[in-house]
Amino acid sequence: MRTFLKLVVCAVMAVQSATARSGSFPKYNRLNMNDTAILLIDHQVGLQALVKDFDTVSFQNNVLALASIAKELKLPVVITASVPEGPNGPLMPEILKMFPDVAVVSRHGEVNAWDDPKFRAAVKKTGRNQLIMAGIVTDVCIVFPALSAIEEGYQVFAAVDASGTFNEVVRYAAWDRMSQSGVQLMNWFSILCELTRDWRIHGQVMTDIILKHLPEYKNTMITFNQKQSTEHSD
Ligand SMILES: *[C@@H]1O[C@H](CO)[C@@H](O)[C@H](O)[C@H]1NC(C)=O
């Protein structure tokens, strides 16, 4: 009996390791700027009060960095707001100013943006199959449309630092739920670098966005440039 059990255990382990070897892990599915659209969901001023997993200044900076990536790389953008005439309030004015030509999809009840046919139509119209989503709150406004879009065959990437929620428990539950369903979790800087891929081709865009939104690296750049210019003037 004991031998039999051992055999069963060995067989199970063999199957498990064969599955791991045969690539049960997803392949590297990288962002391609020709396939990507950015979806900004419910970045409304009233909802920002619910974001407690980032401080307000960093959060706004992250959201605007992601928006700048869309703008500088000329990616299609879909913007939506949940009942903007109610307590959630209007969208962040900086976002509206950056995309004067994008018609905001105002929802008048649908919690999951994907439930709004106008939103789905706007996404479809981009013609893109890689969707980067960000918004408030992560566990509702991102998780729900992310799972819906996955179900319809889109590749979904959640911009986790441009999405915020109540606390870390809620955030990790939301991230776990998404990643279990195949949503890739990324931050704006990795999104920028994976989309652009090569400093020689997109160095200017990368530098512009970094100078505006990543002060830590901006300082490194300034020091380096100063050193370069002193060396050259010697
Ligand atoms: C995107 O499309 C352009 C124009 O067709 C092409 O030159 C470029 O290599 C494509 N980029 C990627 C990452 O595939």
Cα separation, 234 vs 135, in Å, equals 50
Q: What is the dihedral of CA 161, 148, 100, 211, to 10 degrees?
A: 20
Domain ranges of the chain: 36-196
Tell me, using a 6 A CB cutoff, whether residue 34 lines ligand 1. yes
Is 141 tagged catalytic?
yes
- Nearest protein Cα to ligand 1, atom 6: 34
Cα separation, 123 vs 78, in Å, equals 7
Q: What's the pLDDT tens digit per position in 96-130?
A: 999 999 999 999 999 999 999 999 999 999 999 99
In this predicted structure, what is the pLDDT of residue 228?
A: 81
* Candidate list 37, 136, 141, 159, residue with the active-site label: 141
Can you tell me the mean pLDDT for 30-34?
Answer: 98
Q: What's the pLDDT tens digit per position in 44-74?
A: 999 999 999 999 999 999 999 999 999 999 9
- Nearest protein Cα to ligand 1, atom 1: 34
Is the overall model pTM greater than 0.95, yes or no? Answer: no
Q: For residues 220 and 98, which has the higher predicted lDDT (pLDDT)?
A: 98
Q: For residues 215 and 154, which has the higher predicted lDDT (pLDDT)?
A: 154
Whether residue 8 has pLDDT greater than 80: no
Q: What is the dihedral of CA 55, 56, 58, 60, to 10 degrees?
A: 150
In this predicted structure, what is the pLDDT of residue 21?
A: 53
Candidate CATH numbers 3.40.50.720, 3.40.50.850, 3.30.70.20, 2.40.50.100; the one for domain 36-196: 3.40.50.850
| Weakest mean pLDDT among 13-27, 46-60, 78-92, 168-182 | 13-27
Cα separation, 205 vs 192, in Å, equals 9
Q: What's the pLDDT tens digit per position in 149-202?
A: 999 999 999 999 999 999 999 999 999 999 999 999 999 999 999 999 999 999
In this predicted structure, what is the pLDDT of residue 229?
A: 81
In this predicted structure, what is the pLDDT of residue 10?
A: 55
